[in-house]
Amino acid sequence: MENENVPIPKPRAPRVRKPAVVVEAPPVAEQGPTRVQRRPFLVGDMPVKTAAGIAVVAGLIGGGVGVAIAGLTGSTFRTVVQPQVVTINGSSDTSVATAVASKALPSVVTIEVSGPSAAGSGSGVIYSENGYIITNSHVATLGGAEQKATIRVTLSDGRLFPATVVGTDPILDIAVIKINATGLIPVVFGDADSITVGSEVIAIGAPLGLQNTVTDGVVSALNRSITISNKGNGFNFDLPGNEQSALAQDLSLPVIQTDASINPGNSGGALLNTRGELVGINVAIASSGSSSGSIGVGFALPATLVKRVATDLIDFGSAQHGRIGAMVSAVGTANGVIGAIIRDVDPGSPAEAAGMEKGDVVTMFNGVPIRDEIDITAQVRSLRPGDVATFTYVRGGVSLEGSVTVGSLE
């Protein structure tokens, strides 16, 4: 699939803001803006493919910011982060985003990662009051390039903590790290299934290292899937100081699409609903030509999936992923239907037990429309072994339904 240019979206018409009283926010200090020390960054962009064939960039896959450091050793960091609060200059200028930021900012952190040859920064959300933090796997490992990196976490109030990796899931790009702290404010998980296209969302993270940055937008689309390739065809990792991708296999990720501004450094940060509840973890952005910043096409992993994987990582140190044992590809136009066509079925596999046959075209899987092999792979990988999924398929021009008990990828 060739890389296509994505047109720069036209500015969205102004939305009418709802009063900020929707969320019960903690007291907010009224003071002048806080200065944040800036530093130059070399953005590490990782283009990937989507079902539509557009290039998707995830700075350090999904929005992290990277700085190439030749000969770097130890845990040297060069960032100074000032503690920040939400500054309100007048109550008449507040909005839903203001209230959400006041509520959720204490639950969002900035993460710096340092390895022997490169360093980068991203974002994370606090999962528990005793120090567990969720981020992207590519943030915690610099895109898989550093398995024993030094990690430092900055809380929204400016406190700094060293962190250790609890577990990473490179297949779904989720990681859990831990700091030695108590009394933290965990993010409140919302129901990602309850949001709809057009729902207002707020993104919080540290784009370009700028801590506590708040942007807002809407849910542009649901049930999207993006893929990240390791085949060296232009859709792979492009990390500072690394010519080859550290990705072991292609990734297919189920995502929420949003036009909230997400930039390199937002990786692992929060996507929130208007109640200040987490509905997604920001993971990637689309790029247009040489642009590496936001063009209004961002992606987040659904919070329901994130919570399931994070729980597995904390409890077991690893996460499980589904497999059905069928080789699939995008269906050709001659078939007269959109979906994923089954090219082969492994003997003794869950797909065979479910009655799937070569030539079947899967059009729906577990309630999600299937447009191609990326969609069905993303949906299967997001399930646990033993989960039962329903599917709709076309055989001989007839639409049929079935169910499959998902096996284990591991």
Active-site residue 372, yes or no? Answer: no
- Which residues pair with residue 341 across a beta bridge? 329, 361
Active-site residue 312, yes or no? Answer: no
CB atoms near residue 292 (< 10 Å): 18
Concatenating the DSSP letter of every residue in 285-336 gives EE--TT--S--S-EEEEEHHHHHHHHHHHHHHSS---EE--EEEEEPPGGGS
CB 114 within 8 A of CB 63: no
Active-site residue 173, yes or no? Answer: yes
Query: Among the options 173, 216, 259, 360, which is catalytic?
Result: 173
Q: For 141, which DSSP code?
A: T
CA distance 229 to 404: 27
**Backbone dihedral angles phi then psi of residue 388, each to the nearest 5 degrees:** -105, 125
Spell out the alpha helix ranges (H) of 317-406. 350-353, 373-381
Lookup result for tokens 């079902």: 51
Query: Among the options 107, 123, 220, 267, which is catalytic?
Result: 267
CA distance 28 to 86: 6
Of residues 204, 202, 189, the one with CA closest to residue 266: 204
CA distance 154 to 56: 28
Query: Among the options 138, 252, 259, 375, which is catalytic?
Result: 138
CA distance 258 to 280: 10
CA distance 23 to 96: 8
Of residues 177, 63, 202, the one with CA closest to residue 121: 63
> What one-letter code names the amino acid at 186?
P
CA distance 365 to 319: 21
- Catalytic residue numbers read 138, 173, 267
